[in-house]
Structure 1
Amino acid sequence: MLGQAYARRRLAVPKRDKDRRAFQRRLKTGEVVMPYKGMYIAAAKWESLPYAQRITWALRTVCHTHPGWVLCGPSAAGALGFTTTIKLQRYVHIAVPKRSQAGRHGYVIAHFYKDMPAVKTVDGMRVTAEMDTMMDCGRMLDFEHAMVVCCTGLRLSGLPQHRLREYARGRKRISGIPRARYVAEHADPACENGGEATALAAILEVGACRPRMQATFVSPLSGGEIRADFLWERDDGSLVVGELDGRQKYVDPSMMGQGDSIDVILREKDRETQLNMLRVDVVRFQMEHVRDRGQLRQRLQAAGVPFEPVRRRSPFSGFRCKAY
């Protein structure tokens, strides 16, 4: 049963009682795991799958078991590849046309839609279309995860940022729409990965001015292109670049190009030197600083990054996400 499921990139779903008991015995020994109730996969196989595949394998199984369901919110975002954060998939979110069907039912959270959104099929999964998926995540999720979904969604779908803003402004009388509009206003498809989107959300939350993403400079040595993660211009016209240092580029061979982690570090240092030659200051920060808002604010302020003179209240203030 497991082999047949793997061939279809799904989890095994036993139908007979004796098969369920067999899986439950193996579940107790740790030989298999159960991401959702009644759906099993070998523990070693599950650990070998990247997070993106864990999400799609599990959701594809759900959609195969319940062909009439339409994934929405974080589940649709996972199916579309807009997020690879596994904790967002604690529940399966589906869209329903009747208010009486809404609510939490075990591992499923059903969301009522007065007007059902557009639906598309992606790799065997029925999901809400890209724009509705991003809007729903803006309404349902905390700012950080909503930004990751919307920045990634804009980049992968090729939809322009103004379309998302216009779509959000056109939605009325929907729970959480002020949060979705706030996300649509700040989401940027220039974020190349979830780490940059998370950092952008944190930068805005600490009150720094919105940076320009992926700004380019001309190398004073080779004449080639130098790209910066974040860029600010101070009041006096001077520039400061923000660089997010993630661990992956130092440990993932596919990101090292020709060389090893030492070569990556040396290239980073040389790149920073060239920016300094252009009289551009550089402030580096890591994900641990992004997670600790106090440390991030301190670094940005010490580097002279401009901050908003008057911070407006975020619609996410006091919001408690219940989607995962």
Structure 2
Amino acid sequence: MKAYPQIDALLDQTENAQRCAHSSDPLIQKGLYRRYRAGDLARPYPGLFARAEYWNQLNEPEQSLHAARTLSRLHPNWVFAGITAAAAHGFDHPRFLHRQGLTITLPNHGSYRPHDKLNIIYSPYPRENAVLANGIHVTNPPRTLLDCGRTLEFIYSLPIFDDAAADGIEEKQILQECARTTLDCSRIFKLLRYTDAGSENGGESFARAVMIENGFAVPQLQVSFADSLTGKQFRVDFLWRTTDGRIIVGELDGTAKYVDPKMTDRRSIQETVQAEREREQALFRAGVTEIVRLTFDDAVQQKPLIAKLRCAGVPCVS
């Protein structure tokens, strides 16, 4: 295969700019395609290329943003929306949602026919209202939330709304965006009802959304307890208080809690487990009657989470 120094220079340049490679030079573009056919390059979208090794080390939101930055240069009038805009704004969300492709907004169907990796929200959104985020022209935060809330399931949207609230996006801004459109905002009203800026991360938001969807009472978040023996403060992920006076705590665990040095303070697994036991004992001394340990996989599969909460007697709403 012929070596084209221009291709390597282009790939270096676009990697540094966190974009994909594309060239208006037919020879360069053909050379990129040949290297893609040989397995050296990835082709995330027609006409867009990246070194396979470099591309595969990116997570899904990063891949989407690389492609969007490139397409934004090729199509200056496009405004990216939905989950692509959520990634550009930095809102927490499930990464797998990017497997559906990039999302843009257009005023009407017209004659444009998208390929299968480009989703279109057909709704008027003036180009002048777009904002620049992460190098891409995207819908503003309220409109991004509106589009995500309307097109995604509640359990996937709530983490985005929680994180946006923590970033200072107010409910009134989202309601004003609803009022400016002719779109059905009934799903948005439900999301706003349950949005909580106190959620510590997307995993907790997702688990809480699963709880809500399955009829459990909405938990309090990040409640602190003082150990009656030591006076040390402990925060819990989820808390329910029952009518008969019980206090039920839900803790969302992850493997990183036991193996990530940043989360374990470089303690051994045994030391970390012992610290968790001491923490549980402190919570019981503080008046907690039941501790339910949950994992993110429990929430994804739903049935294990439901079974654990029911077994612990977590109240349901009528």
Q: Residues of 2 paired with 1:255 and 1:103: CA distance?
A: 48
RMSD, matched Cα? 2.4
Q: 2:236 aligns with which of 228, 237, 252?
A: 228
State the match for 2:105 in structure 1: 95
Q: Does 1:121 align with 2:132?
A: yes
Q: What's the CA shift string for 1:186-240, capped at 9, x where partnerless? A: 1222222221111011111111001111111123343232111111110112210
Structure 1 CA distance, aligned partners of 2:137 and 2:229?
Answer: 52
Task: Give, in whole Å, the separation in 2 of the partners of 1:273 and 1:103.
Answer: 61
Bigger Rg, structure 1 or 2: 2
Structure with more contact order per residue of length (Cα contacts < 8 Å, sep ≥ 6):
1
Inter-partner Cα distance in structure 1 for 2:152 and 2:187:
9
Unaligned runs of at least 5 residues, structure 1? 310-324
Report the Cα distance in structure 2 between the residues aligned to 1:104 and 1:144, rounded to whole angstroms: 28
Q: CA deviation at 1:80?
A: 0.9
Tell me by how many angstroms 1:17 deviates: 3.0
- Measure the CA separation in 2 of the matches of 1:16 and 1:172: 42
Do the aligned partners of 1:103 and 1:109 also contact (CA within 8 Å) in 2? Answer: no
Which aligned pairs between 1:1-324 and structure 2 lie closer than 5 A?
Answer: 1-83=10-92, 85-89=94-98, 90-100=100-110, 104-114=114-124, 116=126, 118-155=129-166, 157-160=167-170, 162-163=171-172, 166-167=175-176, 170=179, 173-175=182-184, 177-280=185-288, 281-309=290-318
Structure 2: give runs of 5+ residues left out of the alignment.
Answer: 1-9
Deviations 1:91-120 (A, max 9, x none): 221122345267744432232324548321
Corresponding residue number in structure 2 for 1:315: none
Preserved CA contact (<8 Å) 1:241 1:282: yes
Give the equivalent residue in structure 1 for 2:4: none
Q: Indicate how the Cα distance of structure 1 residues 86 and 59 shifts in structure 2: closer, same or farther if over 3 A, else same.
A: farther
- Mark the CA change 1:37 to 1:148 in structure 2 (over 3 Å): closer, same or farther: farther
- Counterpart secondary structure, 1:100: coil
**8 A Cα contact 1:52 1:84, kept in partner:** no
Q: Note the C-alpha offset of 1:259.
A: 2.3
Deviation of 1:37 after TM superposition, in Å, equals: 1.9
CA separation of 1:55/1:265 partners in 2, compared to 1, >3 Å: closer, same or farther? farther
CA distance in 1, matches of 2:233, 2:113: 52
1:6-59 CA deviation, whole Å, 9 max, x = no partner? 111111113333333332333234322122222111121123234443332222
Q: Give aligned-pair identity as a percent.
A: 29
